[in-house]
Amino acid sequence: MSASWEEIGDVFDEAAALSGAERARFLDERCGARADLRREVESLLEQDDTAGDYLTPPHAALTPIAAAPVQGAVIGEFRILHRLGTGGMGTVYVAEQVQPQRRVALKILPPLSDDPSARRRFAQEAELLARMNHPSIAQVFAAGVDGDTPFLAMELVEGALPVTEYVRRHELGWAASIALFRHVCAAVAHGHSKGVVHRDLKPGNVLVDAHGAPKVIDFGIARALDAVEGEGARMTRTGDLVGTLQYMSPEQAEGRVAEVDAQSDVHALGLILYEILCGRRAYSLEGKALTVALRTISEHSVPRARAARPGLPQEVDWILSKALEKDRARRYASVAELDADLERFLAHEPVLAGPPSRLYEARKFVRRHRIAVAALAAVFAALTIGLVVSLRERARAEKALVETATRTRQLEIETGRKDRILDFQRRLLTSASPDAEGYDVRVVDLLDLARSDLRLTPEEPEVALELHAALGEGYASLGRMEDALAERSAALGIARSVPDLDPVQTAGLERVVLRTRGELHTDPALVAEMRALVTRNAQQFGPSAPETARSHLALAQGLRLSGSLDEAEEHARTALASSGAEAKVADWALGELAAVLVERGNFQEAEEMARALLEQHRLRLGAEHTLTLFAQSKLVNVIRLTGASEEAEREARTIAEIHARRSGPDHVATLAAQIMLCSALIHIGRREEAIGIALNVSERARPQLQQGLHGLSLATNLAELMRECGRNEEAIALLERAQSQCIAAGIEDTPPALRASTALGAALAESLRFAEAEPIVRAALEAGEARLGPENRNVVAARHSLATVLMRTKRPALARDLLTTNLAIQRRVLGSQHDDTLSTLQSLAEALVATGALGEGESAIREALAARYARFGAEHPRTRHARYVLARLLYAAGRFVEAEMEMCELTSVSDPDPSKVSYLNFLAGTRLALERHLDALDAFRDAHATAARVLPPDSPAALDTALNLASQWRRLDQPDSVPPLLEPLQDACLASGGTEGARAKACRSMLLKSYDELGRTEDAARLREQIAAESP
């Protein structure tokens, strides 16, 4: 069997580091009887030893070797003084002209192309440029070609600053800024009147000189360049593209070149004005992937200027919006129009811009029906209807809004208001379906709007309280926890200041605030505060009151998340006992208790609990009630942990069917249930079925994925499912879409979005696209650390993900450091016995081994193993995996006897499953290392038998197991066992690929040798023919 590049490489690598007798010895050991391998390696080593600097890559010169014009050079009638700057369009110099005596800005363009018409076209363009004559446009004095080098001589703007910089430095007020800006508009309008579109307006091209006069430069340069390049070399002005990406119009971003005209300049001017007035760019594109950046430009609406600069008059906001309209039909038709409107504004005349279409409707609406809309927006968000709501038809939308608001106002004082708001909410929704067209109003914007209005006018305390609470609800459902906390805290503040407010309500708010805080930071002090609340409630309302029970549960959750499971259980049980008549609290209590039990590994009891809950609901509410289904799905989750996968699949199927029947195939709940079903199917090995359903779900889920946080978790879960199904590419596609939606909605820093980011990174890593995975996970980690703190659960998860990527890209030292950080955090917050802590410990052990710190690695893994053993017992998959890691470590350290012992234990008693196959293979490997060939054979045979039971026969693992067994038969001189084993697998080996068909090669090679040894000449000949026929 001829050696593969990888095989040769392995040996070559190690041998190259040795010399003389040592090398020879190593080769003896390593190559053994494989003469061909040894020959290859030795001949390569010989070349390597004597290579010297053969094929050394020449050192790349990093400075351009072109003879650039230097000081004193003369181009045309201009003498170069010094260089001013370089860009994608060419280099600019300060040069001297003799007649007339002056200094100019001389722009040297790229050499003319071979195309004969290039020279002529350049001349034409230059002439056009020279015709422009305006005080605020940098004049083009001359243009020409020196040899092959085209150049443009332009007005030199002395002491120039980009307009944004100028405004900042001189601290111009908005009125003065606008006046200055109007001169720029006049300049651009002049250019347009001469038929020249700038196409590249940005602050860098709008300079202001020392006297405060603005000058637009590089007007029309783009066209001159087009002329220069001609048809031949397509010069790529990507430098320009990049620089002006920030100032690109949507039609430019979408590549609709035919539509790039004067109106694109209007858009660019709008962005410049925005930046002048707000001190920041309209789009933040730094660090974004190009495709995301371009989408942001074409889809993301610009934040309102008044948000950045509160004192700005309303009309300016309107003008900006009209200049920045993505829809050209609604944008100012020309720069002159824009300028005119600015003039009117400055003269206190009414502006034409008028309010930006729908946002204005919403705004006006908020004014009139403040309370209602705030509640509306909050409920919008709470229902997670969508991140973006498009009010498609004005009349209908307005009518619905008015109607809703009027009714809602009436309902303010009535009880049961939330349910009825919900009802009208649904009505509104049917008239306002999410739609790509039309002006988009983000729910987040509505919330922000409502919030800012709330600040401006004091309301009656009760109402203000309601609003703050509702806003908090809204923000929470969008994952904007900090905003949610701010609102809820405000509500609490008000509640405390109102003398005769219902104390239960106040206590409830306190609880909610504590919980929100818990979402943001893992904080031991928080638990203490929760305890205090429980005590207070017990005193104030009685130990069995519903609110007291609720606070017990909040505390239980906090304790559970921080690892104090015993106490958590206590409190959950207390709540359960006292819940009495309040069904909701009882449910919550059972749920919490079950979660605690699961955390402790007490799966049996958790299952009993879940069953009890389910029964209760079935009896009381019926089999199809939402809460029953909810309880049922909880049961499914628990059953999966106890391993009763068949039942889990049955239950999951029932749930999915009921949801489908009740809410329709496209409802979020149905989709989620079907995902759960797929997961259960995979667990019992029915992968094909699962994949089929999953793909179907993926199709139907498409519209849902835009629907707020539910959509986001749906996308994340679906992606995980795809990964489990081996459909990694689909998972990646899903998560990438989800990510860009998060960005468009402005929630990319929230915990659910970070989870999705981390999942995306993991999926990319799975596809071995480490180069892409790494920045994503890093970004998620950084964002998480900044917003949520380094100890937050999601941040810890992201850190772990990054460590995984680092491990797989062979940077174990860095992975080790990250894991060490995580371990310290988890030990402190969760305790040394917590399952997550142990997982980290285990991964850390692997990293330590990879960095060669075998001793440390061993202690770590032994610690993890002992803890797992104590908690879960020997049979639990996690304990087994820990043992496996230990065995591998021992093997790596050459302690084969110990490794073999561990593997024996590992494989002695357990049900057959795919991991057992790997373990048995490895056990055989340890025995081979100890030269116990017969025992190794036993292990290989066991592995093969197990594989036959649990793996599909053509899966890579099963094939490798068979090949290992065949190899061992051959080693023991029993070729007769090989053909019956391998013959049926030939096709599968061929199909499986492997590294350049390694499996097929190995299979055939072993068959051939066996045939030869057994004297089966016909079979051997037939096989050789077959091989010959297949080779190219």
Partner 1 sequence: MTDPSHEVTLLLQRIAAGDRAAGDQLLPIVYAQLRALAKGHFRGPGDGAQTLQPTALVHEAFLKIFGERTPAFVDREHFLAVAASAMRTILVDHARARAAAKRGGYHARVPLDALLVPFEESACDVLALDDALGRLSKISAQAAQVVELRFFGGLEQTDVARVLGVSVSSIERDWRMARAWLRRELTTDEAGGVA
Give the nearest distance from C-beta 255 to partner 1 in angstroms.
4
Q: Which residues pair with 102 in a beta bridge?
A: 97
Shortest distance, CB of residue 87 to partner 1, whole angstroms?
6
Question: What is the distance between the terminal CA atoms of the chain, rounded to a whole angstrom?
Answer: 19
Neighbour-count burial of 832, counting CB atoms closer than 10 A to its CB (0-12 exposed, 13-18 middle, 19+ buried)? middle
44 forms part of the interface with partner 1 (CB under 8 A): yes
* Residue 64 contacts partner 1 per CB under 8 A: yes
Q: Applying CB under 8 A, does 435 fall inside the site for partner 1?
A: no
One of 9, 195, 580, 877 touching partner 1 (CB under 8 A): 9
**Least distance between partner 1 and beta carbon 238 (Å):** 5
Instruction: Between 264 and 579, name the residue whose CB sits nearer to partner 1.
Output: 264
Cβ nearer to partner 1, comparing 85 with 311? 85
Pick from 29, 286, 414, 931 the residue near partner 1 by CB under 8 A. Answer: 286
Report, in Å, the least distance between residue 808 CB and partner 1. 9
State yes or no: residue 333 binds partner 1 (CB under 8 A): no
CA 427 from centre of chain? 34
Q: Decide if residue 70 touches partner 1 (CB under 8 A).
A: no
- With binding defined as CB under 8 A, does residue 368 bind partner 1? no
> Judged by CB under 8 A, which stretch of 37-45, 497-505, 711-719, 873-881 contacts partner 1?
37-45
Closer CB to partner 1, residue 290 or residue 346?
290
3-state class (DSSP) for residue 334: coil
Q: Which of 202, 237, 868, 1004 binds partner 1 (CB under 8 A)?
A: 237
Does position 13 interact with partner 1 (CB under 8 A)? The reply is yes
What are the residues whose beta carbons fall under 8 Å from the beta carbon of 149, sequence distance 6 or more?
75, 108, 109, 111, 112
Count the site residues for partner 1 by CB under 8 A: 59
- Please report which residue ranges of 972-1016 form alpha helices under DSSP H: 978-982, 986-992, 998-1014
Q: Which residue lies nearer to partner 1 by CB, 556 or 802? A: 802
Give the integer Cα–Cα distance in Å for 250 and 282: 13
Give the amino acid at 786.
A
414 lines the binding site for partner 1 (CB under 8 A): no
User: Which backbone phi and psi does 414 adopt, to 5 degrees?
Assistant: -85, 165
Residue of the chain from 71, 117, 133, 291 that contacts partner 1 (CB under 8 A): 291
- For partner 1, give the closer residue by CB, 88 or 912: 88
Beta carbons of 809 and 774 less than 8 angstroms apart = yes
Contact at 8 Å (CB) between 844 and 819?
yes
Type of residue found at 932: R
Question: Which own/partner pairs from 929-933 qualify as long-range (CB within 8 Å, at least 24 positions apart)?
Answer: 929/891, 929/896, 929/899, 930/896, 930/897, 930/900, 933/968, 933/971, 933/972
**How far does CA 159 lie from the centroid of its chain?**
44
Residues in region 674-713 near partner 1 by CB under 8 A: none
Q: Which of 1, 86, 209, 259 binds partner 1 (CB under 8 A)?
A: 86
810 counts as binding partner 1 under rule CB under 8 A: yes
**For partner 1, what does the binding mask look like between residues 714 and 753, x meaning CB under 8 A?**
----------------------------------------
Q: Report in angstroms how near the CB of residue 742 gets to partner 1 at its nearest.
A: 19
Per-residue binding string, partner 1, 92-131, x by CB under 8 A, is ------------------xx-x------------------
Q: In angstroms, rounded to a whole number, what is the distance separating the alpha carbons of residues 297 and 301?
A: 8
Strand, coil or helix: 136: coil
C-beta of 135 vs 232, nearer to partner 1: 232
Burial of 667: CB neighbours in 10 Å, binned 0-12, 13-18, 19+: middle
Among 175, 176, 210, 233, binds partner 1 (CB under 8 A): 233
Chain length of the chain: 1032
Q: Can you tell me which of 20, 29, 54, 419 binds partner 1, judged by CB under 8 A? A: 54
Q: Specify the DSSP element, H or E, that contains 292.
A: helix 290-299
Residue 566 binding partner 1, by CB under 8 A = no
Work out the angle between the directed axes of helices 626-642 and 645-663 (0-180°, nearest 10).
160
Selected from 135, 195, 212, 239, the binder of partner 1 by CB under 8 A is 239
Does position 65 interact with partner 1 (CB under 8 A)? The reply is yes
Q: Is 296 in the site for partner 1 (CB under 8 A)?
A: no
Cβ atoms of 843 and 829 within 8 Å: the answer is no
As a whole number of Å, the CA-based R_g of the chain is 36
Q: What is the CA angle 853-854-855, rounded to 5?
A: 95
Interface residue with partner 1 among 19, 71, 236, 314 (CB under 8 A) is 236
Structure tokens at 110: 């790229």
Q: If residue 206 lies in a helix (H) or strand (E), which one and from where to where?
A: strand 206-208
What is the binding site for partner 1 (CB under 8 A)?
A: 5, 8-9, 12-13, 16, 43-48, 51, 54-55, 57-62, 64-66, 86-88, 110-111, 113, 232-243, 252, 255, 257, 286-291, 293, 768-772, 809-810
